[in-house]
Structure 1
Amino acid sequence: MIRLQKFFASIQQDLKLFAALWLLICLYRIIFIWDMSSYLSAAADAKEIGLALWTGARLSLKSAGAITLLSFVFCSLAGIFLPRLELGRLRLWVGTAASFFLSVFFQARFPYYREFHMTYNMQVVQGWQDDRTALFWTMVQEYGLPWRLAVAVSLAVLFWYILKRLLQTPVFPLPALKGKLPVAMASLGLTAVIFVFGLFVRFGASFNYEKGINWENCGVTNDAFLNECILDDVQALYRARDFAINMEAGHIAGVDRENIGRYLRQIAGHEDLQAKEIKPYLARTAQGAEIPQPRHIFIILGESWAQWPMLDQYADLHAADGIRSLAAAPEGYATQSFLPNGEYTAIAITGMVTGLPEIHISPQYQLRTFKEAYPTAMAPQFKQLGYQVDFWYGGIPSWDSINRVALAQGFDHFYGYPDYNAPKQSAWGTKDGYMFDALEKHLADEPPTVHLIMTVTNHPPYNLDLAAEGFDLARAKAATAKLPQAENPDELAVELGHYWYMDKVVTEFVRKTQEKYPDSLFVITGDHAVRMDPGTQPTLFEHQSVPFVLYGQGVTKDILPAQVVGGHLNIVPTLLELIAPKGFQYYSLLPSMTRGSQAAFNGSTWLADGMIGQLEGSKVSMLNGQDAGDAPAARQKVDSILPAVRTIAWWLLQKGNSVEE
């Protein structure tokens, strides 16, 4: 009876902890929506906000319950078997520790959403695999880690005080029970109540999965921001964990391993081929060179080089004057219909190096990557045309193992900023100007070479001396102040200053190199667009699209179809078709843009027929300046190639070149 009385009192303390944590999570949600209200769309009326708060409150029952389960197991249940132990203090510290982590994630949620327009997702997994030292100093210098951590500690201390007082309030005593049968009945009834309550919490204010709420079905409003707010930080991290597990297991949208044979025959038109390896199915035949074979080829991946500053409506910002001039030149070609391989730098680099799309399996963490080149890798194919293939990077060579990946996939050399003795500008590396200066000097001693180049300056922390570089920050602030949705015009002006610097340095390098080596060919694109938006409600095009500019000897306005659709994985096949002799065989998952590729996609977004849309969702919009089309027909073009591309990429990463299981 004494054990039962103590257990009855203990579970009431657990209920207090549960209520306190649940209210804390709900309060943080309300504060976040209020403080970030500029991200609300016009569709977000009071009814939608109320729906988001209600659905979020239901979902957060699960988060509070998961934390309280620790207290229930180690305090209440443990007290049955160890009745002499006083475990109440442990409950207090479980709650305090939980409140600290909840407060840390709450503080981090603000800059995270401003960067990615999402709550915690796969970027968290990628960040964990990133250069943690550089990431730490970026958080310190750019995102206010010290003061945010201080706020989190203060909030945790306040919660500790409130919880301590709450746990000191009286509990209801268990009525006196005489005899074994009443005690047994009370124990059974208490067990049933705990089970029912646990079920209610587990399914988010319901008793079954069908009517319950979870991170997969909680997007019930018409506003993207509110749908992300419904997810508390615990559920958002749970979502990221689920993504990572499913990706590694092959449970990826579009991956259908059972149909690998059909997809192999479809991917490049080899319907009658029967081979034991994947490589023959990926073979394509060049139709004949369209320009003289250049001495040097430069593929420039600009850090966070979004396409939107190039648009006419943002011309007054003068951030992209350089690349606009290259695109407009007689020897320049550009298309707006272009997507990056993903939403972070590593997937852009590994995509270019390996020729594989984003399927949330990082090639740099697969042992297979370091054993042999993938059939679609760029370096071996350019080497067959007589080129040396080098990688130039403004950062640390070992960052995310990209130097090892590049060299293992056939690159001849990898140069990071320590290799050319450039001074360090930030935690991520040197100034872009130093890298291009070193490359310019290096060209004199090079044989014909393909250069894959990755810039770093346009990245937080934004600490470049813009005035010394010639950027008029005051004029930029005046211009960004006129943008109707800019949340912080002054910060945006600083970011645009770093974008402007990258644009200026790249353009100067292109023009100087072309003058000295007129038989050069340049491709300019961005690693991703996500991070810098013109406002709190960017279009999908503004948030996702990166430039594609082809520039150099032999390039004309009609060298590729007007506004041809493409992405990072189309670049290498396009270059090979432009310069390779007729009959040259190369290997790629996606076709050359010279053949009028029909669709592009990455991990979240698709593009076809002048339209851009979400892969998971119904959002579809037109590209700037392009005529409206048939959205279902455009999406069908994407769906006709996406499963084949993703399935074959997954197979290569997980099983290798053999078709056999």
Structure 2
Amino acid sequence: MLKNFSLTDAKWNSFFTFWVKGLKCYIFFWLILSIFRIIFIIDMRDYMSEQSSTADIINALLLGTRMSMQTVGVMTLVVLVALLVGSIFVKRWGHRLMNTVVLLQLLVACVLFAARFPYYRVYHSSFNKMLFTAAHEDWSALFWTMVEQFSLPARLLGAILLTAALFFLWKKILAANWGKILPVCCRLQSKKGRVLLLVLVFVVARFSLFSGSWNWQTQIDWENSAITKDEFLNESILDDGQAIYRAYRLEQRNSGSNGLSYTAEDVKKFATALSGKNIDSNNLDDYLVKQSQGAKIKKPEHIFLIISESYANWPLLDDYAQLHIADGMKNLISQDNTAYCPSFLPNGSSTVNALMGIVTNLADANLYLTTRVDEMKQPYSTAVAPQMKKLGYTSNFYYAGPSSWENIEKFTKAQGFASFYGRSNLTETSKGSVWGADDKDLYDFVLANTDPQSSFNVILNVSNHSPFEVDLQANAFPAGQVEGALAPQYQNDDQLLKELGHFWYADKMLKYFIDNMKAKYPDSLFIVIGDHADRYNVEKSPTMYRRYGIPFIISGNGISKNLIPSDAVGSQIDVFPTLVELIAPKGFTYYSVGKSLTLGNKTGANYAFGITDGYIGKTEDDQFMPEQFIDGKTPPDPAAVLQYADAIRAVSWWKAEYGNNIDDAAVKLAAGSR
């Protein structure tokens, strides 16, 4: 058998033709992804920092084409499997099945390409973990948001047309005889040509396996591909397949102990560091329990904690004063009975992170607590509502959207809120959006339904959220004034103007509510925070501080501007302890992961960032390398910031997963009950 073997035998024609088709497929998809990357960089170039050089762009393109070799290798392998499986039964079936798979892959690639642009505009990232966050969102609202703000029908139509054009091109390439341009000795009909083909297949397969490298030692992947100093270019390096794979891998890490893995001993060490208590206890609450230092103001009759959708801190900065989109809160901040902390972080990247942090006072630990409502036999000891009840307050939660979103009604009630009010309770005077009622209708409902009984009220609005459907003209938004205050390169950006208009509306309605509630109940305390930032800025490449920071504003009788030390910082888990230290009598016992800003909290952190006085940086990296945002401040101790970030996550994760018992036996017990 081996004696008669010859690479030129006719029976081997189909074997070599198989690999020729594979190479054509490989080159075809490789060119498409490379061209997609070039188009994306050109169209979205405004997001590139001014410091980026031509060399940076070239490096990003070269590295991107190398990384895409792995993506294309997978796509080609799927095509070849389809060709082989189909041919086993009937030869022509292989060809048809191959083309069907190519068509489907083209459709997916084109749809992802069309979605990449609006996705980056919203999240300043290629496809990331927000894909998995969306699984917990209101799918109907998401759909209509994509239709109304991101032109879903037009984008889908464009993707389909592009798919058709590329598939037509593929069929032409498949039918083309490339051998005619090769020397006779290298053509498929010759033994030398067939040997060269097999060598080429091996080389391509090797490079595909290691993302454009010859071996694993020099392999690049999504974790080490950020070769430039420009975040936009680093994201452009990843094709859509690589970006989704990154999101998948991160989600895998999250789901495998939710990305965190702490032993009981680890948690004890973190709890000790966080509390500063030199104790040896297996009860987590022994580390989280605190005693109030004594009330700093007269106990207010009503407390309103307003979590304002996408209310970032950057519009409150002097650099944006000419826009006049935050005049309401800036006016409030200027009043003598208002304190303001500009160095503040959200609990996470989405509204649900803020919801969980405010309601439970647990730091974000990659756990969707809202999906665990049926498992909650009682509120966490750190939960806000039961502790406010001990101070004499009835707790109410007001949400502009439907009660079904994130199980919000069941979740808040499971954590001790006495009442929940959602969109179905409101009288709407305007159309609202798919996410909920307009802010004014929400605030009017709270105004009408607040009675003299002492109450603690959390209000979560939605108007400053895509698809941005507030009637700005009817609300007298000074569009011309705002547009004129923008730098020339931003003045023709209608989408940006609409976004700024919705921030202006949210700010205006915040002031409207606070003024009217103060008139009705002068003895009220107001706390205003954003649920998150990182949705839009004027600049395409804002600094980390301007992109992620949210404000912390507290206003009411007895509040003074020096209430919060100038060097204090915090995050949303610090809101509740700050409130307790304001109003609770000396010695009042409460539980919290966070710390009061009135006591000079010096570090804030969330799922990915840490903040200190004048510095902000990423905590998800091995090293804390902060950016300075206030001149003249002392750089933080990187190890201390990372330890704090790990500590709040560790204790929050353990408490949510295993309760108060810091013992490895608790892990086995919890595993056995699930």
TM value normalised by structure 1: 0.93
Deviation at 1:495, TM superposition (A): 1.4
2:518 partner letter: Q
Q: Is 2:80 the partner of 1:72?
A: yes
- Report what 1:355 is aligned to: 361
1:262 partner letter: K
| Match 2:346 to one of 340, 356, 363 | 340
CA deviations on 1:39-66 (whole Å, 9 max, x unpaired) are: 1112211111110000000110111111
Q: Is 2:592 the partner of 1:588?
A: yes
Q: Kindly report which structure 2 residues correspond to 1:35-114, keeping only aligned pairs within 5 A, or say none.
A: 35-76=43-84, 79=87, 81-82=88-89, 84=91, 86-114=93-121
Q: Is 2:332 the partner of 1:329?
A: no
Instruction: Tell whether the 8 Å contact from 1:350 to 1:402 is kept in structure 2 after alignment.
Output: no
- Report what 1:462 is aligned to: 468
Q: Kindly report which structure 2 residues correspond to 1:340-419, keeping only aligned pairs within 5 A, or say none.
A: 340-366=346-372, 370-419=376-425
- Report what 1:182 is aligned to: none
- Report what 2:184 is aligned to: none
Deviation at 1:435, TM superposition (A): 0.8
| Match 1:644 to one of 632, 647, 651 | 647
| Match 1:273 to one of 275, 280, 284 | 280
| Residue aligned with 1:120, SS | coil
1:288 partner letter: G
| Residue aligned with 2:601, SS | coil
- Report what 1:604 is aligned to: 608
Instruction: Tell whether the 8 Å contact from 2:254 to 2:260 is kept in structure 1 after alignment.
Output: no
1:659 partner letter: I
Matches of 2:33 and 2:200, distance apart in 1: 25
Deviation at 1:6, TM superposition (A): 2.0
Matches of 1:155 and 1:357, distance apart in 2: 45
Matches of 1:449 and 1:455, distance apart in 2: 19
Deviation at 1:454, TM superposition (A): 0.6
Matches of 2:538 and 2:117, distance apart in 1: 17
1:141 partner letter: E
**Mean alpha-carbon deviation: is it higher for 215-224 or for 38-47?**
38-47
- Report what 2:638 is aligned to: 635
1:653 partner letter: A
| Residue aligned with 1:366, SS | helix
Instruction: Tell whether the 8 Å contact from 1:522 to 1:551 is kept in structure 2 after alignment.
Output: yes
Matches of 1:485 and 1:356, distance apart in 2: 42
2:116 partner letter: R
- Report what 1:572 is aligned to: 576
- Report what 1:181 is aligned to: none
Deviation at 1:459, TM superposition (A): 1.0
**What root-mean-square deviation, in Å, do the aligned CA atoms of Structure 1 and Structure 2 show?**
2.4
- Report what 2:241 is aligned to: 234
- Report what 1:526 is aligned to: 530
Alpha carbons of structure 1 residues 192 and 402: separation in structure 2 relative to 1, 3 Å: farther
Deviation at 1:368, TM superposition (A): 7.0
Instruction: Tell whether the 8 Å contact from 1:308 to 1:545 is kept in structure 2 after alignment.
Output: yes
Deviation at 1:643, TM superposition (A): 1.4
Matches of 1:117 and 1:301, distance apart in 2: 23
| Residue aligned with 2:435, SS | coil
Count of aligned pairs? 645
- Report what 2:556 is aligned to: 552
Matches of 1:121 and 1:488, distance apart in 2: 29
| Residue aligned with 2:510, SS | helix
| Residue aligned with 1:108, SS | helix
After the TM superposition, which parts of structure 1 deviate over 4 Å for at least 4 consecutive aligned residues? 1-4, 171-177, 189-196, 253-258, 616-619
Deviation at 1:102, TM superposition (A): 1.0
Q: Kindly report which structure 2 residues correspond to 1:144-159, keeping only aligned pairs within 5 A, or say none.
A: 144-159=151-166
What stretches of structure 2 of length at least 5 have no aligned partner? 1-8, 180-186, 668-674
1:306 partner letter: A
| Residue aligned with 1:87, SS | helix
Instruction: Tell whether the 8 Å contact from 1:519 to 1:552 is kept in structure 2 after alignment.
Output: yes
Matches of 2:423 and 2:110, distance apart in 1: 38
Q: Kindly report which structure 2 residues correspond to 1:256-335, keeping only aligned pairs within 5 A, or say none.
A: 259-275=266-282, 277-335=283-341
Matches of 1:629 and 1:636, distance apart in 2: 18
Deviation at 1:443, TM superposition (A): 0.8
Instruction: Tell whether the 8 Å contact from 1:320 to 1:503 is kept in structure 2 after alignment.
Output: yes
Instruction: Tell whether the 8 Å contact from 2:567 to 2:602 is kept in structure 1 after alignment.
Output: no
**Mean alpha-carbon deviation: is it higher for 603-612 or for 525-534?**
603-612
1:389 partner letter: S
| Match 1:128 to one of 125, 128, 135 | 135
Matches of 2:86 and 2:456, distance apart in 1: 66
CA deviations on 1:379-411 (whole Å, 9 max, x unpaired) are: 111111111111101111111212221111111
Deviation at 1:204, TM superposition (A): 1.0
CA deviations on 1:336-384 (whole Å, 9 max, x unpaired) are: 1111111211111111111122233222223576333222211111111
1:121 partner letter: N
| Residue aligned with 2:465, SS | coil
- Report what 1:492 is aligned to: 496
Deviation at 1:199, TM superposition (A): 3.1
Deviation at 1:653, TM superposition (A): 2.8
2:527 partner letter: V
| Match 2:23 to one of 15, 37, 56 | 15
Alpha carbons of structure 1 residues 3 and 430: separation in structure 2 relative to 1, 3 Å: farther
Q: Is 2:658 the partner of 1:655?
A: yes
- Report what 1:180 is aligned to: none
Matches of 1:577 and 1:3, distance apart in 2: 85
What stretches of structure 1 of length at least 5 have no aligned partner? 178-185
**Mean alpha-carbon deviation: is it higher for 304-313 or for 634-643?**
634-643
Alpha carbons of structure 1 residues 395 and 3: separation in structure 2 relative to 1, 3 Å: farther
Deviation at 1:581, TM superposition (A): 1.1
| Residue aligned with 1:411, SS | coil
Deviation at 1:192, TM superposition (A): 8.5
Instruction: Tell whether the 8 Å contact from 2:609 to 2:619 is kept in structure 1 after alignment.
Output: yes
- Report what 1:222 is aligned to: 229
Matches of 1:48 and 1:226, distance apart in 2: 8
Deviation at 1:634, TM superposition (A): 4.4
Matches of 2:190 and 2:50, distance apart in 1: 59
